[in-house]
Structure 1
């Protein structure tokens, strides 16, 4: 029996070695010169998955040095063609709808989380209408009203959270910012009723739903895994919460307000159909997760960066005293117009978005063979295209000392990110935007429409914290934690602990 077992093991090992040998021979001897060069890998199917997954940017820069801006790597059996640089961003992010498709890549991952008939579970024309509905809900007056709501949420958190009990202490900044940003996004984007429901139960639901964004779900979104079962239960319950709110509002139409739920309840598709309650609920789930995810990661990085360079915190505080103060050292409540007077605050956010973009890869499925202008390459339909605007943002050719976090690098730079050709994909005229090396919110038809809210949310959160709290590293660390790339949206490795101290003890 033992001999049989050993023989079977030997056959399996021999088979694996043969497959590896054939894989290596194919790469060395049978390259298709009309396709981009393939990054060398030993093991079939697995390919370059581990190198890419551990540190995507290190992988991209290493491959760029060896192969140039265009190369193909194997990601869990799928050939993925990367095109780096501003030309690559243009080629992929502004690709024609008939040639590149986002739904086929992201749909399996997002549909179980966001729900049916929205985002990547509907025709692109319908998605553009939905983006238009949401964009029109983010009006100038709405953004102006958000400032006071966000400031109040942050102040309440500083006053009541055990994490900020006393006059000094230590916090896991990732956990604290996750809570703060779900409160601010919930209150500002979704209204008072939703904010009241952001209790422990809702937080647990959100956490379970968020597990659906694990990278394995690109391949196995419907697998009967424990985190997928929790995801599905959480989605059903969160949809019920939203539909209950919508039904109650329909019973009392005279108490209409200006939040996003009311906005969507008033919207009608081009075919004359009002937006169904189920779709409103699914769009609200999407908005909550999108508004919280990016703000949580970026605000955590801002806090970590400020703790590692406390002198910037004092500059931010003095900027408020100088530009917003009344002369006696006191600071009035924040207002929307104040944001334009806080240039360093704006630059802190811009620099953090440059260095710590939470999305390192933007993918599209190739639908038609795509010739790459200026090259002999044609990308076949069996490939997925991948753009990484974060690579240009981290490139020395555009940003000297690119790896250094330096908000002052923006002090004298002319704004370029919104220049260029304008286009209307169906949700309002926007810039194609890909001529800039700085694209923190993407570009093309899938450019994030919530960027103005993101800036306001981050600016108010950070400004409020800076008014009341000083931050510092407690372990002698000079820099910040490493980046955790194990999730679809990357953030700092957890726990990320920093020290804090009340600026004015007993005055908050």
Structure 2
């Protein structure tokens, strides 16, 4: 310090004479300040990257997410357009909104746009050795096994179960009553899923126990879980206990089937019979792997199906013209095929299909779908601006927000199922309708979901009329899966 000016030398002596704790605190503050200044300067540098929307470094982006993803999307799109980046703590989230900037997101393979790095928070729920806890080539084989459980012939065998569960469930309703669609369909979808996915043994003998354990798993998926899936909090402790108990139950069911040689028409049987082809020595799935895949399949479809079933009912009840058209279609189906529901009869229900699709357009269950950019890639907006998304960004698309863009759908806030009918067919614009995703990672269970929802609403349309007692509810954007807020509905059984 001999060469320092006298004033700086005095300041240096004072700093060095501070206690160690104070020196550490001062050094940390200086480091944080330097990082913040550096981040601000870096964000201001000319770049081909998307515009960065953060505000206060390190906490600004986090605060924006805390305010709710929908509000973030709304404000970010108004300020920056179709492409912008929000740093969240140590990660950068880049949003791609609308069909013009989305093709690479949906078309790229996992070597370029990966799911594992953003969805690995599911591992404690699904369990080890499946889906996001395995390398891509193993996950591809596991998805193939599920796809084989959804072939046309297998889907045909599931329809009678959908119908049986719906008929028995609604037979318990009275002549008239007040319900909430979301509550009712959540229960019914769980029943149909238990029979077609988890197996006859679970549906007939273990349903209440398994349903309680699955509910405990569900409660263990909270917003904190996305960032800290192993945080020592009560819902995570309960999640882990429920996951262990489910593994024990399914191990007994799987073992009993394998030992007896008995076969059933369900997804569980498909997993029991399946074998790896190009990995793991061609072996069969273990009991733990089967349990994990069943849970993953259930989580992927249960909430999304029950919520879409609910929105379909809400919008049809609120728009009597469309409800009457769907009910009239049922009469025509009965004239042509009789009262029995089958794969063929459900496939003929185009009016009902369009009502379901429009409900899904207006309120997709998943606000965000995400990937991890393993390689940089360019996007060009509708105004001709080109940005380069850097390697390492979490990239997010929003079905909910994109579906409300007028360049994607005419008068997007209006419930209009006929937009999907010829000659309009608005869904045919590439990457406009992404209710089931798109491209390489489009939902492989969408045909299963349509059949399930159609079977339920076929029974209802043939037997009941509905009246909304509340206005069409808002979407609950605070939930992990975006469903309707509570809404009272009066049902009235039709006189035969």
Distance of 1:99 and 1:321 partners within structure 2:
50
Distance of 1:23 and 1:205 partners within structure 2:
49
Cα pair distance change 1:140/1:200, threshold 3 Å: same
Pairing 1:272-283 to 2, within 5 Å after superposition: 272-283=282-293
Cα pair distance change 1:344/1:372, threshold 3 Å: closer
| Structure-1-length-normalised TM-score | 0.84
| 8 A contact 1:38–1:72 mirrored in 2 | yes
Using the TM superposition, give the Cα deviation of residue 415 of structure 1 relative to its aligned residue in structure 2, in angstroms.
5.7
Q: Give the match for residue 465 of structure 1.
A: 460
Distance of 1:441 and 1:367 partners within structure 2:
24
| 8 A contact 1:93–1:387 mirrored in 2 | no
In our comparison, the structure showing a higher alpha carbon Rg is 2
Is 1:85 the counterpart of 2:77? The answer is: no
Distance of 1:318 and 1:174 partners within structure 2:
25
Equivalent of 1:110 in 122, 145, 149: 122
Is 1:168 the counterpart of 2:146? The answer is: no
| 8 A contact 1:54–1:486 mirrored in 2 | no
Is 1:313 the counterpart of 2:342? The answer is: no
Distance of 2:442 and 2:430 partners within structure 1:
14
| 8 A contact 1:213–1:487 mirrored in 2 | no
Using the TM superposition, give the Cα deviation of residue 232 of structure 1 relative to its aligned residue in structure 2, in angstroms.
0.8
Structure 1: state its 5+ residue gaps. 1-10, 420-433
Distance of 1:312 and 1:113 partners within structure 2:
40
Equivalent of 1:127 in 136, 139, 143: 139
Cα pair distance change 1:187/1:317, threshold 3 Å: same
| 8 A contact 1:468–1:502 mirrored in 2 | yes
| 8 A contact 1:27–1:40 mirrored in 2 | no
Cα pair distance change 1:155/1:49, threshold 3 Å: farther
Is 1:74 the counterpart of 2:66? The answer is: no
Equivalent of 1:209 in 187, 202, 217: 217
Matched residue SS, 1:337:
helix
Aligned residue pairs, count = 464
Is 1:100 the counterpart of 2:91? The answer is: no
Q: Give the match for residue 374 of structure 2.
A: 367
Matched residue SS, 1:320:
helix
Distance of 1:221 and 1:119 partners within structure 2:
16
Equivalent of 1:298 in 283, 308, 314: 308
Q: Give the match for residue 235 of structure 1.
A: 243
Using the TM superposition, give the Cα deviation of residue 269 of structure 1 relative to its aligned residue in structure 2, in angstroms.
0.9
Per-residue CA distance 1:61-118 (angstroms, 9 max, x = gap): 43223212111013355221112222432122222423322101111x2111111111
RMSD: 3.0
Is 1:147 the counterpart of 2:147? The answer is: no
| 8 A contact 1:174–1:492 mirrored in 2 | yes
Cα pair distance change 1:496/1:55, threshold 3 Å: farther
Using the TM superposition, give the Cα deviation of residue 29 of structure 1 relative to its aligned residue in structure 2, in angstroms.
7.7
Structure 2: state its 5+ residue gaps. 1-24
Equivalent of 2:474 in 482, 487, 496: 482
| 8 A contact 2:375–2:392 mirrored in 1 | no
